[in-house]
A and B are shown apart, each in its own frame.
Chain A
Amino acid sequence: MRKIFLVMGCMALGWISGPTVESPAQGKSLSVQDIVDRSNLAAYYEGKDGRAHVNMTITDSQERTRERRFTILRRDNKDGGDQKFYVHFSRPSDVRNMVFMVWKHIGQNDDRWLYLPALDLVKRIAASDKRTSFVGSHFFYEDVSGRNPADDTHELIETTGQYYVLKNTPKNSDEVEFSHYLLWIDKTHFLPMKAEYYDKNAKQYRLVEALKVETIQSHPTVTKAKVTDLNSGGHTVSVFSKIEYDLGIQESIFTERYLRRAPRKWLK
């Protein structure tokens, strides 16, 4: 099963890419599962690894802002399989060198680590549900590491000139706070451009948008993404820069050893 919701996660972190050659006309004959798979493929498995600098601005309902600046490294074990993430913080300066590391597993719980330099502490974060905040932003951990598409049933509810609109309903609704969400997948590059989340009273409460797509190393890539919390009125915007694919990051970087000793070479 391909995981299109990794797409959301990658989109959040800004280096979603798509195949450069794609015929929109083909879409018409695609089945729902095809779209899900295609989107997943297009968004996720381009490039063996990648790096991006992320500037995250969290704004609350009173327009007060907070910044997070970090560099994110990603490495795929194999296409469609496990992945590893390394997130290194640089701002605010008092959380500098904090690291958040994820080993994403297909079909089982992810492994997560947190390194807190000021406490000289490496901590594993035990698996719980994935809909917790990512470092206080409006992005969820699941937006970052990906929601397993097998957890939802998918339904193509509309095909517009530009998008496939999918309705996704969780198979186990007790584990998540939404009743369903709608996803707008671009017909050209198969990147998900918008997601609307609805609560158990069918009221929309959350919106995820791709605000800007650029082509980097011939991969269409989201370089600006936004999550809005319609309940609290806050939102988070992530801007991605210095994106590079296929750097050849070695697997050993994604180990506990490098939590304490940031791999400067890859973080620049």
Chain B
Amino acid sequence: MSTSKSSIINFPLNHPWAIVAAVLILTLGLGLQIPSIQIDTDPENMLSEEEFVRVFHNQVKKEFVLYDMLVLGVVNEEHAEGVFNPATLEKVFHLTRKIETLEGVIEFDLLAPSKVDDIQQAGLGSVRFEWLMPSPPKNSEEATRIRDRARENPMLYGTLLSEDGKALCLYIPIQSKTLSYRIASQIQNYLNGLEGPEQYYITGLPVAEDTFGIEMFKQMAISAPLAGLIIFALMWIFFRSFLLVGAAMVVAGVTVICTMGLLISMGYTVHIMSSMIPIFLMPIAVVDSIHILSEFFDRYQIYKDRRETIVHVMRELFKPMLYTSLTSAAGFASLAFTPNPPVKVFGIFVTIGILLAWLLTILFIPAFIMLLKESSLKSFGLNQTSSGKSSMLERLLKPLAGWTYKRYRGIVGWSAVVMVISAIGISLIVINDNPVKWFEKKHPIRVADKVLNAHFGGTYMAYLVLEEMQDATGFQQSVAVIQKELTLRIEELQGDIPQLANIKSEALQQVRSFADQQTSSNKFSVAALLQKLEDKATQQTQAAKADAEAWDEVSLFFNEQKVQHQPFKDPETLRTLERLEEALMQSGAVGKVNSIVDVVKKVHYELMEGNREYNVIPKTSAAVAQTLLSFQNSHDPDDLWHLVTPDYQKANLWIQLKSGDNKDMEPVLKTVTAFFENDSGGKPLLAQWAGLTYLNVVWQDKMVQGMLKSLLGSFVIVFLMATFLFRSPLWGILCMVPLTVTITLIYGLIGFIGKDYDMPVAVLSAMTLGLSVDFAIHFLQRSRTVYPRTDRNWLKTSEEMYGEPARAISRNILVIAVGFTPLLISPLIPYQTVGFLLASIMVVSGIATLLILPALIRMAEPRLFKN
């Protein structure tokens, strides 16, 4: 160990140019990969592509022809009739025309006053299917008539127009989420050219997500370099040597470039998570360099020889640096076991980056120093030893040695109190996320979100898909019933159509064999069976001329049976849906639900002369079927297939939510579960969720649990590593104290101030672990080295510890905490969170290391230093 250690230490001192060349080649090679970067801002990718909910979500989108939507709100607060005046509606009309022409917009599914159909009374005994606004209204009567008609239509009210008539909303379906920023910008450009009292707002999850990506890219280009610059400036203040500080920055820069280059060259996309890799790696990479420079700074004037100083510094720091790097790496590597692919990638590449930074620190920094002229180092660290004047840091830290020695009971006691209070804070933590809230409150997307959700049923979409439960027993029973009914039907009609006798056994045989085919492949859909039987019988009508009439009767029979097995034409099942809708509306977060039930009721009501008594589900399934066929005589008959599949086997509740927060979505999920537990009305239905708002809940949930497991896992690993390093479980426990205190305090604080536990907060737990253990290992390892030199006296050891080692830790705290303040001015909340938390983590873990560790050592000195 020690020979390999000294050969590692000596290698860069003997071959500095080789090291520099190697670093240069590596950086160029990987750096050149960076331009082929692929940005991915889709939170959906927080789930693996094979994840059931994601597969299901995509299947639902396909089955019900659903698209991701932008929401464009138009508000007129000035006009007495709100937006329902000729001038505003004319603008909306032309705006709609404009949007239709934009590439990527699904024109035929656009929801706008001029694009939706309305059914209404048209005099005695008549109904009319008509565009709601075929052309701009010519006068205010026409304008308010449009409003009144839309109000009468439950499919439009609260969706297309607001309750107060001040606002209306266009729902713009788009081919792909990744087009939303471009399309939103094109719409915004058009809106900028409009004059008048109207306010326009664009929002919706897709545009929030896509816009975040664009802004994220900007932040990567601004924040990370700015943080680098500030770190550089601070380090210069401490060490007053551009060259040496520059070397540390080179380590950080090379680490970031190589890690990102590697990530990109391996074909990974840069997700919101991985975009933070530079921000995480920079402090970690700089930390080790600061330890070396700090020690070098304090020692150089003693040795006055760079080689001797470096050898001394490296001997002192090699072990703690190796172990801090390994423990930090372990902390992040544990993320590789989380269920979210972007978190995995993030964890793995930060781990690679940490190990690379370590390698660079111990190889490049010494090599670099060796390449400097001795004369250029002449003044390095000079003022510290020669002038006798002590720095502010020194004056601040020195007295702590005695203080922690004297007041150790108080320190430990108060720390315990703080821990208990923090634990209460942790219990208050609210796990929540919402991509729209990734923007600052004054960001146009946030403003739009607030305004539109105040006016409408909600701009967040979730889909609840219902179908009948299918199982083997039910299937066999249905098959038996079909056979029996078919026999009866044939016997009944045999008198009129004697050929039925010829085909009877064949028809029954077909039922059996088709049913067996399905059973053997574990498919228990009676509807699918009947469809096949009907198709087959229809074929035979054409094939067998002599028995054509008989087969036609059989085909009709199967068609009748099929129609009876269409649950979402069945009034009983529709009434279950109606009750479910009521329960959802009462749950609070739901602003609006659109379903097949609403269509059926509205059309039934209009067919029945607009009599309120008929605003109900018709009594028979034939009546439902005929109501729906009437509806299909409209401009957009296919609108029906957003709410039910054409075979009526599955229904979709389109749910609009006023909030996209997970904490608001979760009660909605519970409402549905509770509904099906308690509702005993209809046949049992299987309910499954889809939609972006729901997907966010799922990945968030997985991430929080994954992070918690990973944190506990890495906690254990780090403890084992520390125990191994110190060859003592007691020292291992001691090592875990600062990070435990930091994590508890930080998360306690988050709980108290009410900040949501979201993606960046979750990821920072790994960061805390990595950085806090760093300080603790440095502090403890060096205490153990110093202790024997000071006659095994803790007070004397601690006086030395509050010299260089404490200064190195304090410099680290300041550099990183201040270095990341540029993140606080970012318009993106996750970046602000990271900036704020990084600073807090540094300060808290620094204080925990410098105050609690000495106090605990003081307490347990005899046991800790037995030999």
Name A's B-contacting residues (CB within 8 A).
60-62, 64-66, 91-95, 98, 114, 116-119, 121-129, 131-137, 141, 174-175, 200-201, 231-232, 234
Contact = CB atoms under 8 A, between A and B. Distances in A.
Contacts of A129: 130-131, 134
6 smallest CB-CB distances across A and B, nearest first, come from A136-B632, A126-B122, A118-B622, A94-B625, A118-B623, A126-B128
Nearest to B107: A231
A232 B646 CA distance: 15
A135 to B, nearest CB: 6
Contact of B638 (A124, A125, A126, A234): A234
B208 to A, nearest CB: 28
Contacts of B641: 60
Given A119-B623, A121-B608, A126 B127 contact: yes
Contact of A125 (B126, B636, B637): B126
A185 B833 CA distance: 69
7 contacts: A94-B626, A117-B622, A119-B618, A123-B126, A136-B632, A141-B633, A231-B107
Contacts of B63: 62
Contacts of A133: 632-637
Interface of B: 62-63, 65, 97, 101, 107-108, 117, 122-123, 125-131, 134-135, 556, 559-560, 562-563, 569, 604, 607-608, 618, 620-623, 625-627, 629-630, 632-638, 640-641, 645-647
A126 B127 CA distance: 6
B629 A136 contact: yes
A174 B134 contact: yes
A132 B108 contact: no
Contact of B633 (A61, A121, A134): A134
B622 A131 contact: no
A100 to B, nearest CB: 8
A93 to B, nearest CB: 4
Contacts of B97: 200
A232 B638 CA distance: 10
B633 A98 contact: no
A114 B634 CA distance: 13
A126 B123 contact: yes
Contact of B635 (A116, A132, A174): A132
Contacts of A232: 108, 638
A234 B620 CA distance: 30
A98 B626 contact: yes
Contacts of A127: 128
A197 to B, nearest CB: 13
Nearest to B623: A118
A136 B635 CA distance: 9
Given A124-B126, A132-B129, A136-B637, A174 B135 contact: yes
Contacts of B563: 92-94
B126 A93 contact: no
Contact of B621 (A62, A94, A123, A201): A94
Contacts of B569: 94
Given A94-B625, A116-B623, A132-B633, 13 more contacts: A61-B65, A62-B63, A98-B626, A98-B629, A114-B630, A125-B126, A125-B129, A128-B128, A132-B129, A135-B629, A174-B135, A200-B97, A231-B107
A118 B647 CA distance: 20
A126 B130 CA distance: 10
A132 B631 CA distance: 11
B30 to A, nearest CB: 45
Given A132-B635, A133-B632, A234-B638, A118 B626 contact: yes
A124 B757 CA distance: 59
A18 to B, nearest CB: 27
B540 to A, nearest CB: 15
A68 B262 CA distance: 59
Contacts of B646: 60, 64-66
Most A-side CB within 10 Å, residue of B129, B630, B647: B630
B125 A124 contact: yes
B127 A125 contact: yes
Contacts of A66: 646
A137 B641 CA distance: 13
A92 B556 CA distance: 9
Contacts of A175: 134
Contacts of A125: 126-129, 633
A95 B629 contact: yes
A144 to B, nearest CB: 11
A179 B135 CA distance: 16
A16 B531 CA distance: 32
Contacts of B122: 126
Nearest to A231: B108
A249 B62 CA distance: 47
Contacts of A93: 556, 559-560, 563
A156 B62 CA distance: 42
Nearest to B125: A124
A141 to B, nearest CB: 7
Contacts of A132: 117, 129, 633-635
A228 to B, nearest CB: 14
Contact of A64 (B134, B627, B645): B645
Contacts of B625: 92, 94-95, 118
A193 B31 CA distance: 62
Given A62-B62, A121-B607, A116 B627 contact: yes
Nearest to A90: B556
A131 B636 CA distance: 10
A138 B563 CA distance: 22
A110 to B, nearest CB: 13
Nearest to B626: A116
A171 to B, nearest CB: 15
Contact of B559 (A65, A91, A201): A91
B142 to A, nearest CB: 14
- Among A92, A131, A232, A234, the one with the most B-chain Cβ atoms within 10 Å of its Cβ is A92
A95 B607 contact: no
B715 to A, nearest CB: 50
Contacts of B608: 119, 121
A132 B640 CA distance: 14
A66 B563 CA distance: 12
A119 B600 CA distance: 13
A121 B608 CA distance: 8
B647 to A, nearest CB: 7
B66 to A, nearest CB: 13
A95 B129 CA distance: 20
Contacts of A122: 125
A118 B128 contact: no
Nearest to B563: A94
A135 B633 contact: yes
A142 to B, nearest CB: 12
A117 B607 contact: no
A146 B847 CA distance: 86
Nearest to A61: B65
A136 to B, nearest CB: 3
A117 B280 CA distance: 71
A223 B20 CA distance: 83
Contacts of B130: 128-129
A200 B100 CA distance: 10
